[in-house]
Each structure stands twice: as structure tokens, then as C-alpha cells.
Structure 1
């Protein structure tokens, strides 16, 4: 572990104490796992504490662990993973929180802490169905408003039954049954004797 990561790990352990579920160093990156009940408080502490100063949220995404390790994993299905950066301290941290309920995954919104989380949380809601409690504009961002389901979930069907397109004659979006027929395509390979001038 690099010296920076050692210092960060020691500071997190001392400052957060029992709120740390797991603090793991893998492949040169530090991952902090916390309980959903402590998530917002921990996020605020990570940003505001003078010894941590993780001022920036770089990324936030949802994760579906239902088939992780070929289905042999025990525990909650959905997680939210955030990547944080401290410009002043020159270190990074991955913050992970698991939603307590698989049927209704819900964690606190961190938009009051880092306003850059706004669209990331909307994407995680849209793709995984994770509800962010306290988000002031939680609506779909990548799929259509009438879309049913969450396409990044492992149990989402690979092929849909309805497609959406814009109809120029009707001047509106229309929904219709999928018209794509499944087929197998064999690529055509062209070989040239003097390819590339050789």
C-alpha cells in the first residue's frame, strides 16, 4: 500500500470508527463500505473533516450483485459505488453502500453533499431502480419516461417486445411490436496479398 493510502486508511479508521463496515485495499485503491443508515453522515464527514477533505465526487454508479461470482455471493443485491477525490490531500477513495431491501433498493441521496451526484443518481435510478431518498428530481435520464423496468439489472430480458420510434407522419413518438428478426451473421473476410503495401 502506498504511503498516501496508509495515511488515508488510518484517518478513516480513527475518524469513522464503528461506522466502517469494511475498509479494503485492492489493486492500489482503497474501498470503504458503510451501512445504508450511515451513508449520508459518512459522506458529509468525508467531505468536511479537515483530515480527509474528499471535496469532489467523480463518479457514482449502481451495481447489481445478483450473479456476482456465479451467484455464490451472500448479502444484499444492489449497491451504490461512489468515487471520491481530494485535490488538497491528493488521494482517492471508493465509497460503497448496499441497499438494505432487494425488492425496494433505497439509499440516501448525496446531492446535498456533492451536487455533482444529481445526474449520476438519476442514471442509477433509471438503470438499476435504486431509489435515492432526498433527491429532488429523481426521474429517468437515459430511457423514455414510459419505459418499464431497469435495463442494467441482471434479470432484465435481453430482447424486448416493444420498440419506440418517431413517426414523421403522426409527428409523435409511437410504440409498436419489435420488428427485428433474430439471425446469425457470418462476417465477410477480405484477404489481400499486398495488404498495407507489404
Structure 2
């Protein structure tokens, strides 16, 4: 671990104390895991505390850990299914942090919005809502951003079918776009292998 990361780790442990659920060094970057109950307050502290000063949110995404349950060695095997991961940058301190929070309810995943702390979170949270169905409590305009408004389901969930649930087409009689059940039948395609004994003129 570099001196800069060691300094950041010490600052996080000093400022956040027992609010830290996990603090791991992953791919040369610290990953801080916190509880959903403390998430918003911790984000405020990460931005405002003089020893941390994470002024900028670079990225925010949803995660679906459901298939991690298949791997016995995974640390996520028995945990909640959905998480939100954000990447933060301190311009004044010149360091980065990965922050993760798990939504406690797999059926209705919800975490606090941090749009009031970093306004860059606005569209990122809408994207995580659209693709994973994670609800951001307190977001002022939480609606789909990538799929259309009549879309059913959340396409980045591991159990979402590749064909989707509905398809849309233009109906010339009604003169509008309509939605209907998917007409594609799922099938397994086995590639055909062609072998030639003298392929390329070799014998």
C-alpha cells in the first residue's frame, strides 16, 4: 500500500470509526462499505470533512450480486442482492475512494439519494433505477433515462430474460406505437461445424 493510501485509510478510520462496515484495498484503490442507514450522512462527511474533502462524484452504478451466491468462496454469497457503488475524487487531496452500500430489501431495493450532496449523481441514480430497479429515496426526478417509459422490468438484473417481456411496433391501423407480448420464441442455437479433410490443399 502506498503512503497516500495509508494516509487515506487512517483518515477514514479516524473520522468514520465504527460506521465502517468494511474497508478493503481492491485493485490499488480503497473500497469503503457502509450501511444503508448511515450512507447519506457518511457521504456528507466524505465531502465536507477537512481530512477527506471528496468534492467530486465521478461515477455511480448499480450492482446485482445474485449470482455471487453460486460461488462458495464469495464474500457476497449470503448478503443482500443489490448494491450501489460510487467513485469519489478529492481534488484538494488528490485521492480516490470507492464507496459501496447494499440495499437491505431484495424485493424493493432502496437507498438514499446523494443528489443533494453531489449533483452529478442525478442521471447516474436514474440510470441505476432504470437498469436495476434500485429506488433512490429523496431523488427529485426519479424516472427512466435509457429505456422508454412503457418498458417493463429492469434489463441489467441477472434474471432479466434476454428477449425482454414486451416488444413494441408501429401499428398502421392505430397510427401509433403499441406494446405487445414478445413473439420471439427462445431457442438454443448449436453452431454447425464444417470440416473438410483437404481444407487449404493440405493432405
TM-score by length of 2: 0.85
Alpha-carbon shift at residue 169 of structure 1 (Å): 7.2
- In structure 1, the gaps of 5 or more residues are 188-192, 194-198
Alpha-carbon shift at residue 14 of structure 1 (Å): 0.0
Give the aligned partner of residue 94 of structure 1. 98
In structure 2, relative to structure 1, the CA distance for the partners of 1:144 and 1:82 (3 Å cut) is same
Separation in structure 2 between the aligned mates of residue 35 and residue 28 of structure 1, nearest angstrom:
23
Secondary structure, aligned partner of 1:68: helix
Report if aligned partners of 2:113, 2:136 keep a CA contact under 8 Å in 1: yes
For residues 141-160 of structure 1, the aligned pairs below 5 Å read 141-160=145-164
Alpha-carbon shift at residue 76 of structure 1 (Å): 0.8
Report if aligned partners of 2:152, 2:165 keep a CA contact under 8 Å in 1: no
Separation in structure 2 between the aligned mates of residue 177 and residue 103 of structure 1, nearest angstrom:
24
Separation in structure 2 between the aligned mates of residue 140 and residue 161 of structure 1, nearest angstrom:
17
Give the aligned partner of residue 68 of structure 2. 68
Backbone CA RMSD of aligned residues: 2.2
Give the aligned partner of residue 46 of structure 1. 46
Separation in structure 2 between the aligned mates of residue 91 and residue 166 of structure 1, nearest angstrom:
51
Alpha-carbon shift at residue 103 of structure 1 (Å): 1.2
Give the aligned partner of residue 55 of structure 1. 55
Give the aligned partner of residue 174 of structure 1. 178
Give the aligned partner of residue 6 of structure 1. 6
TM-score by length of 1: 0.87
Alpha-carbon shift at residue 171 of structure 1 (Å): 4.6
Moved more, 51-60 or 62-71: 62-71
- In structure 2, the gaps of 5 or more residues are 193-199
Separation in structure 2 between the aligned mates of residue 127 and residue 96 of structure 1, nearest angstrom:
18
Alpha-carbon shift at residue 161 of structure 1 (Å): 4.4
Give the aligned partner of residue 81 of structure 1. 85
1:124 paired residue among 120, 128, 131: 128
Task: Kindly tell me the number of residue pairs found equivalent between the two proteins.
Answer: 190
In structure 2, relative to structure 1, the CA distance for the partners of 1:46 and 1:184 (3 Å cut) is same
1:48-100, CA deviations, whole angstroms, 9 ceiling, x for partnerless residues?
A: 11111111000000101111162540111110000000111111000000011
1:164-196, CA deviations, whole angstroms, 9 ceiling, x for partnerless residues?
A: 234577553222344556584969xxxxx9xxx
Separation in structure 2 between the aligned mates of residue 28 and residue 183 of structure 1, nearest angstrom:
41
Give the aligned partner of residue 190 of structure 1. none
